[in-house]
Amino acid sequence: MTSTSCHRNRYLQGLTYFYNMVALLKTLILLIIATALAITALLVPAQIRSVDPTVVELAGANSSSVEDKIWEEINAAYVGPAQRFAAATGSQDPAQQTQIQLLLDQNPNFASSGGPNRDFEDLLKRSVTQRKSRAVIPQLLPRSERASLTESLSTSRNRNVTALLSIRDIAGLSRLHPASHAAGAPYDAGVLTLALLIEAGHFQPSLAQQIGNLATLAAGYNPEATIACEDLVIGTLSLGRQLDYTSLVSLAELTETLGDWSQMAALFRAQPDRIAENYTALRFSESPDTLYRYLAEQTETGNQDLDFALRHGPGAVSHLIHTEQPLFQASSIPGTVLSLLAPFRPQIFVEITLHNNTLGQALKFALLFLAGLAFAFAMGSAWRNSLGNTSTVSRSNPMVMARDILISFVVVLTIWTIFEPNILKSKESVSDSGPRIEFAVADSLQSIKSPVKSMQEINQVTLLVLALFFIIQLVIYSFCLIKIKEVSKQALSSDMKLKLLDNEENLFDFGLYVGLGGTVLSLILVAVGIVEASLMAAYASTLFGILFTAILKVMHLRPYRRQLILSADAA
């Protein structure tokens, strides 16, 4: 009997060891699956508050290349635009530079006109000024140049040109002086430049007519029309003092509204050291309003991101500014991880994100959610293995399933936040009156503004933080319910079950501890500016902890303890 009992014990020990190894192997496999799914999700270049550089690169690769765009300008003998394209994109193709220099040697006036343009070249030929300027407005400032151009335009049959010439000596200007004034050369040069562009047909007919109607009203002493004409001339001066005539013509052909013209001028005034970059971006995007809004909103990284897109061509620029998001820049450790994974990224992931960013985000979320489920299953397997022969709750139990799903959401939010920290930055709302670009002087209110938002403000970041705290409390709540269920299934006396519940008292209070910790951590993160959420989100962590702990103890723990006490008394 002793020998049989000994063999039986060894058999049971071996069987237990086997089951433990199987459980351990199952846990490891689930963890490997979770890691593989998480890595696969990180290979999807879909972000919420930014756009991945690989997506911008692919957008550029699917359109004309920078070299092709420069050669298009060179083949048309548009020297000025070609030089600006090359300067903005960093292109240093010797063949291109040689061809540009050959065009300038054969046509010296191209240095001022920017390319073949009969109207402006005729003006240069009639010029008595020996020194030719590389920009339109400086070339027209001398009285003799303006007189020559006025004489040429005076014979025009274009009603809009005639209307512009009639406001050269208009009264009521507040920032400029009329042409007859000693300081009226800039205003006169701006008016004549507009007239020349309209005479040559470079503005759209509807826009040219709108300009002509404004000039007619201004000539009739309409104060509002006078101000509008002055604004239009100031915008023309801002562009014309930086660009040659051919480059200015190309922007005029892009202009659909007077607002577009003013926005392009605002860009050139705000960033006088980025003329080539802004000009090239305008030409590549063919959308002045979109580019203007992008740079107005992305004041911190807009120029850097735009330079990156410029090097990859028109498609890259258009995609970047239409997303209205900055380029994705991961922090040190996540950035290192992503750079190591980048060579293994399937091209299909990039193409999906490029054509439908929402679909890319959904794919990434699904992969992270599956990774979270695998992680939850692994933790559940390890938990059941650690309990040994103790009876556990079935995996089909609704609370166990809810716990696993909630853990998956926590995994999604945690990993996504770690690898895209910008998701915790609040997005400043843009004023309805239109964006204002102020790069030279920072807004004094902006410089002293606290990252703490008002208590009533609920933005996307606040909602995200609230959701995270709520899900964490749900996970803890589910764990506690499962623990109560496990104790109830034990084949023990009521007194012993009461002792086990007393032993788990800290677990039942864990939601309250986490809630208080979440509030303290949130206040610290808000104070140092890492997270830009309202104080409501921080205090909600404690509130959720109190509510869930109260619900657990009053609605679940107290009735079960009462039942056990009555059973123990009856026994």
- Inform me whether the pLDDT recorded for 531 exceeds 70: no
Residue 297 and residue 267 in contact, taking contact as beta carbons nearer than 8 Å? no
Q: Helix count (H) and strand count (E) of the chain?
A: 30, 0
The C-alpha atoms of residue 486 and residue 480 are separated, in whole angstroms, by: 10
Q: How confident is the model at residue 441 (pLDDT cuts 50, 70, 90)?
A: very low
- Inform me whether the pLDDT recorded for 534 exceeds 80: no
Tell me, what's the pLDDT at 537? 73
Token pair listed for 570: 């009856």
Residue 239 and residue 246 in contact, taking contact as beta carbons nearer than 8 Å? no
Residue 531 and residue 522 in contact, taking contact as beta carbons nearer than 8 Å? yes
> What mean pLDDT is predicted for residues 220-244?
92
* 299 half-sphere exposure, CB direction, 13 A CA radius: 16
Residue 320 and residue 309 in contact, taking contact as beta carbons nearer than 8 Å? yes
- Inform me whether the pLDDT recorded for 551 exceeds 90: no
Q: 258 CB contacts (<8 Å, ≥6 apart)?
A: 207, 210, 211, 228, 232
SS3 helix, strand, coil % of the chain, rounded to 5? 70, 0, 25
Q: How confident is the model at residue 241 (pLDDT cuts 50, 70, 90)?
A: very high
Q: Is 433 helix (H, G, I), strand (E, B) or coil?
A: coil
Residue 349 and residue 360 in contact, taking contact as beta carbons nearer than 8 Å? yes
Tell me, what's the pLDDT at 388? 56
Token pair listed for 128: 């008595």
Q: How confident is the model at residue 399 (pLDDT cuts 50, 70, 90)?
A: confident
Q: 531 CB contacts (<8 Å, ≥6 apart)?
A: 424, 461, 465, 522, 525
Q: 547 CB contacts (<8 Å, ≥6 apart)?
A: 473
The C-alpha atoms of residue 322 and residue 72 are separated, in whole angstroms, by: 25
Residues 228, 234, 235, 241, Cα dihedral to 10°: 160
The C-alpha atoms of residue 453 and residue 462 are separated, in whole angstroms, by: 10
Task: Give the range among 217-226, 313-322, 401-410 with minimum mean pLDDT.
Answer: 401-410
Tell me, what's the pLDDT at 398? 75
* 535 half-sphere exposure, CB direction, 13 A CA radius: 7
Counting residues of the chain whose pLDDT is more than 70, the rounded percentage is: 84
What angle (nearest 5°) sits at the alpha carbon of residue 525, between those of residues 520 and 527? Answer: 95
> What mean pLDDT is predicted for residues 305-321?
94
The C-alpha atoms of residue 440 and residue 461 are separated, in whole angstroms, by: 30
Nearest Cα neighbor of 268 from 291, 286, 249 is 291
Q: What is the pLDDT of residues 37-94, one digit of tens each?
A: 999 999 999 998 899 999 999 999 999 999 999 999 999 999 999 999 999 999 888 9
Q: How confident is the model at residue 353 (pLDDT cuts 50, 70, 90)?
A: very high
Nearest Cα neighbor of 235 from 257, 219, 202 is 257
Q: At what angle do helices 275-285 and 258-270 cross, to 10 degrees?
A: 150
Token pair listed for 46: 């879909």
- Inform me whether the pLDDT recorded for 432 exceeds 50: no
- Inform me whether the pLDDT recorded for 558 exceeds 90: no
The C-alpha atoms of residue 267 and residue 217 are separated, in whole angstroms, by: 28
Tell me, what's the pLDDT at 265? 94
Residue 507 and residue 481 in contact, taking contact as beta carbons nearer than 8 Å? no
